[in-house]
Amino acid sequence: MSARRSTPLQRPVVGAGNHLDLKQDLVANLSNVSSLRDFGGCYIVEGRYLLEPAKAIGAKFVSMVDHGDTSAYQARAEEAALFLPDTRFETVNADFRHAATFTGLEPVDASILFEVLMHQENYSEVVRNVTSTSNKFVCVAQPCLREEWFPLPSSSTLLQFWDEELKDEIRRDSFWPKEERATTFTSASWMWGHTTSHLIDLFGGYGWSLEHGEVIPNVCGAHWEYPLLVFRAPA
Ligand SMILES: C[S@@+](CC[C@H](N)C(=O)[O-])C[C@H]1O[C@@H](n2cnc3c(N)ncnc32)[C@H](O)[C@@H]1O
């Protein structure tokens, strides 16, 4: 029996370039979008993937959901508001693993999930809630383990509890930092090695189709690829 991926992905390989710019462009190039929400967009990047596209498309509603320190983001959002005086800005300081976080969220045209799904023990539930509060698109970008690691298609692995020697090999030349050893789930640690095909099938399970997909090499070491994905809501 040969193992086939359940969802083929057109995989044009683009130059490594600057993957930060490519993530930003993925959002800025969405069509017919006037409201954006970023889930986990604060750490280091201070809302860059939300605010720069919001300025580019003239967004009317801009929402950030992050349970970390949002103060640097807030300062950036205030700067962005000078360019977007009629835009509503919302910051929700909450944990998006919890269903209750989504009950008060107004639906948006497009949501952003950049480098967050691999930190959530219930990432499938997070995708279900994010897709149910998104009208048109969800953008995903994160390191994914190369498909060649898995004999079966659409795989993912819970690498958080692997022994350190194996983790160190997978970490080689990547930006997965050495972490304190975790014995129970924490969103501060890298939990999952998803494959790109696993993410595509996960969204497919909620009726969402792949609108755009490309894979950037050489972003996170030899064992990882870096997909940039846009999913479209069911018609
Ligand atoms: C690895 S950083 C990614 C930052 C940015 N999105 C990027 O692509 O560079 C993870 C961010 O998501 C936030 N985060 C992670 N898990 C979260 C959760 N369950 N609920 C809310 N925020 C979360 C963290 O506070 C942090 O700002």
Q: Is the CB of 119 inside a 6 Å radius of any atom of ligand 1? A: yes
In a domain, 36, yes or no: yes
- The answer to whether the beta carbons of residues 129 and 99 sit under 8 Å apart is yes
Spell out the residues 6+ positions from residue 73 whose beta carbon is closer than 8 angstroms to its own: 41, 42, 46, 47, 64, 66, 91
In a domain, 131, yes or no: yes
Note the pLDDT tens digit of each residue in 78-127. 999 999 999 999 999 999 999 999 999 999 999 999 999 999 999 999 99
Q: Whose CA is nearest to atom 13 of ligand 1?
A: 40
- The answer to whether the beta carbons of residues 70 and 64 sit under 8 Å apart is yes
What is the total count of domains within the chain?
1
**Cα(first)–Cα(last) distance of the chain, in Å?**
35
Ligand 1 geometric centre to CA of 231 (Å): 20
* 60 φ, ψ (degrees, to nearest 5): -95, -25
Q: Which of 136, 143, 142, 140 is CA-nearest to residue 30?
A: 136
Ligand 1 geometric centre to CA of 133 (Å): 18
Ligand 1 geometric centre to CA of 151 (Å): 30
| Structural domain boundaries, residue 52 | 19-232
Rg over CA atoms, the chain:
17
Q: Is the CB of 150 inside a 6 Å radius of any atom of ligand 1? A: no
For residue 40, the ligand 1 atom closest to its alpha carbon is: 12
pTM: 0.94
Q: Is the CB of 41 inside a 6 Å radius of any atom of ligand 1? A: yes
Ligand 1 geometric centre to CA of 175 (Å): 15
Worst-scoring range by mean pLDDT, 12-26, 76-90, 207-221?
Answer: 12-26
Residue 208 reports pLDDT greater than 80: yes
CB atoms < 10 A from the CB of 213, how many?
19
Domain holding 201: CATH number?
3.40.50.150
In a domain, 5, yes or no: no
Average pLDDT over residues 8-24: 64
Residue 182 has what pLDDT? 87
Note the pLDDT tens digit of each residue in 128-166. 999 999 999 999 999 999 999 999 999 999 999 999 999
How distant, in Å, are the alpha carbons of 61, 64, 139, 182, 201 from that of 176?
Answer: 33, 24, 21, 15, 24
